Structure 1
Amino acid sequence: MGGFIMKVKSLLITALFSLCLFNLSLFAQAPLEGTWQATYLEFTTPDTTFTRSGEQAASQIKVINKTHFATIAQGTNMESSMFNGGRYDLGKDTYTEHLEYFSMPAQIGKSFTFKCTLDKDKWEITGPVVKDGEPAPDWKLKEVYKRID
């Protein structure tokens, strides 16, 4: 009888511990969830590299929840401002944006995969960009963000 009681106690403790871990996982924040502010932006074409850092880069924000992202970049006028958003996928070292809306309508419906690194509150994505609606492997993008929320 003593062995049976020990087994029941052991099973109850294991079940309770598992339930606690499961409940904690429901409240855990996904690694990218939050608000990210750009600290460095780089756009490379075959003959030129454009960079923005400091206050210029800080005008770009990316907001991410469990399933969607939104990017807003405030320029000095409407023509230099940009927004996009949609669903995203996060892999071990890749981040893919599936564009559902964009200030450049020709990009809606496209998906772009970037290499990414995430180190606590620093997130970096690098990869190809698009020229005239087509992939341009010799055009590159690098964005570095810090988590602000």
Structure 2
Amino acid sequence: MNLRLPVAIGIIAFALASCGEKKAPVTAAEALPLTGTWKLAYSKMIKNGDTSTTYPVPGKPNEMIKMFNGSHFSFFSHDLSKGSDSATAAFSSGAGTYTLTGDKYEEHLQYCSFRGWEDKHFSFTLTLQNDTLIQRGIEKIDSLNVNHEIVEAYTRLR
């Protein structure tokens, strides 16, 4: 009987010590499985209470993808008509770093074909529903008179 008491005390002490263990912070990949390539399905802009569809644009077929690794993102958009002049050719891109804490997504846009957007920070909320990623938040750049909310939906490419 005397041998059981020290064993019981040891088990209780171990259990209590385990309760105080600190867990490692959740990484972006664990919080939402972003890593990979995503294709823009639609986007909307909300400004002064008015909502407009910004993608797809009727009569201007284009495609946009967004890619994530553990710390960086990039996006690329181009016309599907293979335009060869300034009226029909379209290409834009951007890239930078991001952090993700739960559903709070912060982008630092380091490179952008629209140079006034470079070196800007944006805060968004991400939700994942099956293979659809919804990005929602405010884009605000005082120097460009930009202040609107965006909603973008992406589908995962396999």
What's the TM-score, normalizing by structure 1? 0.66
Q: Give matches, 1:1-149, under 5 Å.
A: 31-35=32-36, 36-46=38-48, 49-52=53-56, 56=61, 59-75=63-79, 77=83, 80-130=90-140, 133-134=143-144, 136-137=146-147, 139-149=148-158
Cα distance in 1 for residues equivalent to 2:145 and 2:136: 14
In structure 1, distance between residues paired with 2:53 and 2:130: 28
- Give the conservation status (yes or no) of the 8 Å contact 1:99–1:108: yes
Q: Which entry has the higher C-alpha Rg, 1 or 2?
A: 2
Which whole-Å deviations, capped at 9, do the CAs of 1:14-43 have from their partners, x for residues lacking one?
A: xxxxxxxxxxxxxx8773443311111123
Q: Is the 8 A contact 2:35 2:69 kept in 1?
A: yes
Letter in 1 for 2:155: K
Note the C-alpha offset of 1:127: 1.5
Contact 2:139–2:146 (Cα < 8 Å) also in 1: yes
One-letter code of the match for 2:40? A
Instruction: Show structure 1 runs of 5+ residues with no match.
Output: 1-27
Instruction: Name the CA distance, whole Å, in 2 between partners of 1:134 and 1:88.
Output: 22
Give the letter aligned to residue 127 of structure 1.
G
* Aligned pairs, number: 142
- DSSP 3-state at the match of 1:74: strand
Q: Deviations over 1:46-96 (max 9, x none)?
A: 46553428x957x11001101100001113658632100110111222211
Unaligned runs of 5+ in 2: 1-28
Aligned partner letter, 2:35: G
Fraction of identical pairs, as percent = 27
In structure 2, what is the Cα distance between the partners aligned to 1:129 and 1:42? 12
TM-score (norm 2): 0.63
When the two chains are superposed, the root-mean-square deviation of aligned CA atoms in Å is 4.1
Determine which structure has the larger helix proportion and give its number.
1
